[in-house]
Amino acid sequence: MPWVDYVPTVLRPGILLTKAIYHFTMAIFETIFTERSPSSLFNLTLLRHKSFARLWIANGEAMTIQMPGPLDALLSTSRGVILDIGPGSGEILPRFNSAQISAMYGAEPAIDLHPGLLRNAEKNGLGGKYHALVCGGEPESLIPALHKSGILSSGSGGGEGVFDEICCIRVLCGVPRPRETIRGLYGLLKPGGRMVVCEHVVNPWRTPEGSVVGRLAQVVYTLLGWPFFMGGCELQRHTPEFLTEAAGKDGWASESFEYVEPTNAFPFYVGELRKRG
């Protein structure tokens, strides 16, 4: 590939990182001067969610106009009881067919995104069916929230398969302990249930599809503080591996995936996995 073709690979993440640093700074000012609560700055997790929420409110819609690969087709066939991990402010909800959905649970830890999320649920025919939970996708946060919402029975420890479908869209890059978190999500799927995934992952540079330049850009942006300013988002996650491993030694009934733009710093891994029935 000629070197000029690599320019977007190298520069595009820099634009987003600059915006993230701006919103992080503004979140600090807001906490000190608007909320007059400087002591809240010691809660770094809260501050990072707040700053990411600002970034997402300003840019999320534009970043959702075109979704990678077959995602739109996959979401248009989603049905039943669905768990959406990290739905943000619900920009993705128009991609679902609300008539096929009986209930939808959104596990969104950034409380500042919930008003937009509920507004978008209402706008897209999911108003009465949508349950916005203030929690993350990691088991210690998600399981109590699901118990509280009533979908998990009180005696169950969390490995109860209750969802027809779990959607992970641009979120597994930021969940803590991804291996364990994805295993937890696998446990929540009904037998025969489907996981839909659209995630940027570590560049597959060792394969003919990937690129060394893309992989190096991931290292450089990580060193420049990408995960810190981007709400914990990691550019170098081995999510494809974690997904396959989550089903244990029996494996998934089926896995179907494609890489989208695998040469750049944001190679997306898009597809579906079906749990054995």
Ligand X SMILES: C[S@@+](CC[C@H](N)C(=O)[O-])C[C@H]1O[C@@H](n2cnc3c(N)ncnc32)[C@H](O)[C@@H]1O
Write out the residues near ligand X by the rule CB under 6 A.
49, 52, 56, 64, 85-88, 91-92, 107-110, 113, 136-138, 169-171, 174-176, 231-232
Nearest approach, Cβ of residue 107 and ligand X (Å): 5
Nearest approach, Cβ of residue 206 and ligand X (Å): 27
Nearest approach, Cβ of residue 1 and ligand X (Å): 28
Q: Are 54 and 23 in contact (CB under 8 A)?
A: yes
Residue closer to ligand X, measured from CB, 158 or 209: 158
Residue closer to ligand X, measured from CB, 92 or 217: 92
**Counting Cβ atoms within 10 Å, is residue 36 exposed (0-12), middle (13-18) or buried (19+)?**
exposed
Give the CB-nearest residue to ligand X: 86
Nearest approach, Cβ of residue 169 and ligand X (Å): 4
Residue closer to ligand X, measured from CB, 136 or 193: 136
How far apart (Å, rounded) are the C-alpha atoms in residues 101 and 76?
A: 10
Nearest approach, Cβ of residue 2 and ligand X (Å): 31
Closest alpha carbon to 83 in 133, 140, 155 = 133
Residue closer to ligand X, measured from CB, 166 or 169: 169
Residue closer to ligand X, measured from CB, 6 or 23: 23
Closest alpha carbon to 117 in 86, 89, 85, 82 = 89
Residue closer to ligand X, measured from CB, 14 or 232: 232
Nearest approach, Cβ of residue 242 and ligand X (Å): 14
CA distances from 17 to 72, 74, 104, 204, 231 (A): 27, 30, 32, 22, 11
Tokens of 205: 């540079």
As a whole number of angstroms, the longest Cα–Cα distance in the chain is 60
Hunting for tokens 């989603």 — which residue is that?
78
User: Which letter, b or e, does each residue of 228-263 get, where b requires 16 or more Cβ atoms within 10 Å of its Cβ?
Assistant: bbbbbbbbbbebbebbeebbeeeebeebeeebbbbb
